[in-house]
Amino acid sequence: MKFKVPRGTQDLLPTETWKWQRVEAITREVCEMYRYQEIRTPIFEQTDLFQRAVGDTTDIVQKEMYTFKDKGDRSLTLRPEGTASVVRSFVENKMFGYADQPVKLYYSGPMFRYERQQAGRYRQFVQFGVEAIGSNDPAIDAEVIGLAMDVYKRAGLKKLKLVINSLGDADCRASHKAALIEHFEPSIDEFCSDCKTRLEKNPLRILDCKVDSENPLIESAPSLANYLNEESTAYFEAVKTYLTDANIDFVVDHNLVRGLDYYNHTAFEIMSDSEGFGAITTLCGGGRYNGLTEEIGGPAAPGIGFAMSIERLLLAMEAEGVTFDAEPTLDAYVVTLGDAAKRVGAKLLTDLRANGLRSDMDYTDRKMKAQMKSADRLEAKYVIVIGDEEVEEDVVMLRNMSDRAQDKISTADVVQKLLQDIKEG
């Protein structure tokens, strides 16, 4: 039987993983500057957590979750997003009692959604995100957005578009919900079965429907902007002021609706404006989720966060022609001829690595010409050749691969010689 990678997943080979490592290093460096600390949560959680936190009217919960029963007949789900798990951990570990609030956290790891595979979208995908929990200050909203923008800019992206909106507080949402029901109810039979279910539970989701996006009733639907109360309006204005003060350009789009039920007040998306990136331009999305900690059994602790796809970040870099410096090459490649030489070479390899030199050797007993070709392919800076004659004289032949110059060096001195030459070079 011939096995293949499961549909909607991918193998990341060494020719690509080094690029991922560079991007992941950027996310860590930015988080350290902003004082966000890493949290690691389980890959699966109780199914009820996502149903309560993400919302049972969302496509994620209704259609996309990988849910299974364990041997104890408990319903578990592979995490489809990161916020619910982080907030669960915040509550369970009583982080709300920490002296310093808000608690600033970041995560990075695989998420799972059963959806149609597209460019940059997989059923197993890697998501990086941050959560700031414990503050209702609009300044932290601007900080979280600024952190996301910094990651993209440090990765080399220039063609970015930040779109923001206010979803208001609970009172605003209630008034807007009533207006949406009144607007859609007379013609709800024109809409898909999902929208019919959403009408009473969460009609805001109808505005985000992919099936009925062209229905003129969506275009003419009451705008949430018209239902923002004085407090929500003031909060949104403060967020915009902080963004402006930070020299972060943005566009207000009152039609922006995030796909998860827990959002309120600030919502935002960062998009790629690069030509040829594709029809789906969103790179990152996030927003404020006051009330989520209470929803899963904890005390009131307002929060805000975002999540970004690493796959889509790499695609955006490709679309803009952004490249990283080449993967680090070998400092030294050890070529050995004969069993005695291999023992000396293996011992020398240990010494090279102990001194921080990237090094390797042949393990297939190939001839010298084939080993030298490997050294060339691996772009080794130096080659160390050891044969029977060198073993007897306790020396090695050290060849500089840039100019092909070579010298006999005492075996005991070759490591220090290499360290000196590489430092000076």
CA distance 62 to 121: 19
Q: How many CB atoms lie within 10 A of CB 351?
A: 14
Say whether both 253 and 390 belong to one domain: no
Helix or strand run (H / E) with residue 384 = strand 382-386
Say whether both 252 and 372 belong to one domain: no
Q: How many domains does the chain have?
A: 2
CA distance 408 to 395: 6
Say whether both 411 and 263 belong to one domain: no
Query: What is the model's pLDDT at position 261?
Result: 62
**Domain holding 372: CATH number?**
3.40.50.800
Which of 319, 342, 369 terminates a domain? The answer is: 319
Helix or strand run (H / E) with residue 282 = strand 282-288
Say whether both 235 and 308 belong to one domain: yes
Query: What is the model's pLDDT at position 171?
Result: 86
Residue ranges, the chain, pLDDT below 50: none
Say whether both 92 and 141 belong to one domain: yes
Query: What is the model's pLDDT at position 259?
Result: 57
Say whether both 236 and 151 belong to one domain: yes
**Domain holding 66: CATH number?**
3.30.930.10
Which of 295, 319, 343 terminates a domain? The answer is: 319
DSSP state of 398: E
Would you call the peptide bond into 102 cis, given omega within 30 degrees of 0 as the criterion?
A: yes
Say whether both 160 and 260 belong to one domain: yes
Residue 200 lies in a domain: no
Residue 197 lies in a domain: no
Query: What is the model's pLDDT at position 258?
Result: 65
Residue 38: domain span: 14-169+229-319
Q: Which residues contact 4 (CB under 8 A, 6 or more apart)?
A: none
- Give 160's strand partners: 272
Query: What is the model's pLDDT at position 130?
Result: 98
